[in-house]
């Protein structure tokens, strides 16, 4: 019955590697998001897709590339991983891309770059 | 730039007491506000929301107060329980879908 799920939960990798994080929502929502939470718990939006189309692209290095094969999935691929990419990455979804829509979060992917 | 912030990074409260968590925001265009709770090792979980045309909204054991004049938001938790120990975030959006989150307040409930 998981509403928003992410895989993997933990990811430990070496600098310079390429990795992907997957997200799926079974809520029937149209909009999905990726957030990054740093070591001080600060949450910042990275990307958002609405019906498979990119609608938010914050100032994120182009090593990060989101992909939405359908509106229930939003994956995040990261090239050439750096130490500063270590963080918790959260996927979220909402019914629509409009103000006032509650966003539901996944459990997070804890990425550690060594 | 516009930001959302919390007054205190930590709050320690005795079990059974009421908790008040404060949040200040600077974007006067914000019209929708949300409180999230994040337990250790989990994602943020929706608690309660309020729109700018209201100044108070109540849920189960929680109340959100909005003072638009001073751009202040608070979350009150009645009869705080051990399960309320978590990091609490306020978030706001100025009529779009980009939520801006505050830094979070860590609430610790003492037995």
pLDDT tens per residue, range B87-105: 999 999 876 668 889 889 9
Q: Is B3 helix (H, G, I), strand (E, B) or coil?
A: coil
Across the beta sheet with B72-77, the strand order is B4-6, B19-25, B72-77, B62-67, B56-58
Confidence of residue B29 (pLDDT cuts 50, 70, 90): confident
User: What is the C-alpha to C-alpha distance for residues B74 and B56, in angstroms, rounded to an integer?
Assistant: 10
- How many residues comprise chain B? 111
Provide the pLDDT for residue B4.
58
CB contacts, 8 Å: B32 with chain A: 99-100
**A55 inside 8 A of chain B by CB:** yes
Provide the pLDDT for residue A11.
97
Tokens representing A106 are 């996944």
DSSP annotation of A85: G
Average pLDDT over residues A93-105: 82
Average pLDDT over residues A87-108: 88
Tokens representing A65 are 């590339």
Rg of chain B in Å (alpha carbons): 13
**A10 inside 8 A of chain B by CB:** no
Asked if residue B50 has pLDDT above 80, the reply is yes
CA-based nearest distance B36→chain A, Å: 10
Asked if the Cβ–Cβ distance from B97 to A41 is below 8 Å, we say no
User: What is the C-alpha to C-alpha distance for residues B3 and B7, in angstroms, rounded to an integer?
Assistant: 13
Q: Which residue of A has its CA nearest to B34?
A: A102
Provide the pLDDT for residue A20.
97
Provide the pLDDT for residue B96.
64
Q: For all residues of chain B together, what is the average pLDDT?
A: 89
Are the beta carbons of A38 and A84 closer than 8 angstroms? no
Asked if residue B7 has pLDDT above 70, the reply is no
CA-based nearest distance A99→chain B, Å: 4
Q: Which residue of B has its CA nearest to A38?
A: B103
Asked if the Cβ–Cβ distance from A42 to B96 is below 8 Å, we say no
**A60 inside 8 A of chain B by CB:** no
Average pLDDT over residues A59-73: 92
Provide the pLDDT for residue B10.
92
Select from B75, B65, B76, B66 the least CA-distant residue to B28: B66
Average pLDDT over residues A20-34: 95
Provide the pLDDT for residue B3.
45
Place of tokens 């409260």: B13
Provide the pLDDT for residue B99.
85
Tokens representing B8 are 């205190």
Q: Is B83 helix (H, G, I), strand (E, B) or coil?
A: helix
Of the listed ranges A37-46, B59-68, B77-86, B87-96, the least confidently predicted one is B87-96
Q: Considering only the beta carbons, identify the residue of B89, B96, B103 that sits closest to A99.
A: B96
Query: Any residues with CB less than 8 A from the CB of A62 and at least 6 apart, and which?
Result: none
User: What is the C-alpha to C-alpha distance for residues A65 and B55, in angstroms, rounded to an integer?
Assistant: 40
Are the beta carbons of B63 and B76 closer than 8 angstroms? yes
**Core vs surface per residue B12-22: b (16+ CB within 10 A) or e:** ebeeeeebebb
Provide the pLDDT for residue B19.
95
Select from A45, A10, A44 the least CA-distant residue to A31: A45
Average pLDDT over residues A97-103: 76
CA-based nearest distance B32→chain A, Å: 6
Provide the pLDDT for residue B28.
87
């Amino acid at each position: 019955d998981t509403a928003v799920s992410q895989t993997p939960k933990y990811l430990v990798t070496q600098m310079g590697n390429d990795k992907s994080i997957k997200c799926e929502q079974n809520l029937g929502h149209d909009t999905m998001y990726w957030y990054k939470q740093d070591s001080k718990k600060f949450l910042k939006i990275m990307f958002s897709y609405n019906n498979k189309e990119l609608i938010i692209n914050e100032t994120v290095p182009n090593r990060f590339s989101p992909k939405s094969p359908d509106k229930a999935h939003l994956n995040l691929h990261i090239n050439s991983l750096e130490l500063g990419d270590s963080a918790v990455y959260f996927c979220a979804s909402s019914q629509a891309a409009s103000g006032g829509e509650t966003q539901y979060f996944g459990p997070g992917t804890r990425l550690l770059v060594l | 730039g516009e930001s959302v912030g919390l007054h205190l990074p930590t709050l320690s409260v005795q079990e059974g007491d009421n908790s008040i968590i404060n949040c200040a925001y600077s974007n006067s265009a914000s019209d929708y506000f949300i409180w999230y709770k994040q337990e250790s090792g989990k994602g943020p979980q929706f608690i309660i929301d309020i729109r700018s045309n209201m100044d108070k909204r109540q849920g189960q054991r929680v109340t959100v107060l909005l003072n638009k004049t001073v751009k202040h938001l608070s979350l009150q938790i009645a009869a705080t329980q051990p399960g309320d120990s978590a990091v609490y975030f306020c978030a706001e959006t100025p009529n779009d879908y980009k939520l801006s989150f505050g830094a979070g307040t860590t609430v610790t409930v003492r037995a």
